Structure 1
Amino acid sequence: MSDLFASGRIIDLILVLIVVEGLVLALVHRRTGRGLPPSDLIGFLLSGFLLMLALRAALVGAWWGWISLALTGSLITHLADLLWRWRRAGRRPPG
């Protein structure tokens, strides 16, 4: 079991599950009209995906630059998602 973590394979599994989750949620919305539309899913799923990439890179001892790049990407997608939601709700973002 420890090899699953040390090799980063556990994160590979989580990344696949994030993609599957996004596809299933988008399909459910398309077929039933229920749930969040894909445009509302992409921000938080991509942010989480990038966080998992950063964790995987750290687990396997990757260069710090790759970890930093993934974390920065996650921050940017998270902030963009917040701004998108704030504007859709008809409110002005702080600042």
Structure 2
Amino acid sequence: MGEFFASGRVADLILLMLALEGVALGTYHRWTGRGIALRRLLPFLLAGAAFALSLRAALTGAGWPLVALPLMGAFGAHLWDIAARWRR
């Protein structure tokens, strides 16, 4: 289990789960008209993906710029999400 985390594969699993979540929720909305539209979920999913990329970089010993860049992306996606929710 330690190797699973140390190799960064846990972050790959998180990214896969985020992608599956986006596909499932987007498909559900398209078929039923209920739920949350994918365009409204996008900032949330992007923030999660950026955090997972940052986690992967940190676990695999990447330098601080490769840890910080995805975190800045997550912050931008978070601001986008807040701005979109604020207007509603």
Which range, TM-score by smaller chain? Answer: over 0.9
Return 5+ residue gaps in structure 1 as ranges: 90-95
Q: Partner residue of 1:92?
A: none
Say what the alpha-carbon RMSD is for the aligned residues.
0.7
- Equivalent position amino acid for 2:8 in 1: G
- Residues paired across the two proteins, number: 88
Larger Rg, first or second structure (1 or 2): 1
Whose RCO is larger (CA < 8 A, sep 6+)? 2
Sequence identity (%) = 48
Return 5+ residue gaps in structure 2 as ranges: none
Q: Partner residue of 1:61?
A: 61
Mapped to 2, the partners of 1:30 and 1:60 lie a distance apart of 38
Q: Partner residue of 1:41?
A: 41
Give 1 or 2: higher helix fraction. Answer: 2
Q: Partner residue of 1:27?
A: 27
TM-score relative to the length of structure 1: 0.90
Which consecutive segments of 4 or more residues in structure 1 shift more than 4 A? none
TM-score relative to the length of structure 2: 0.96
1:31, distance to aligned residue in structure 2 (A): 0.2
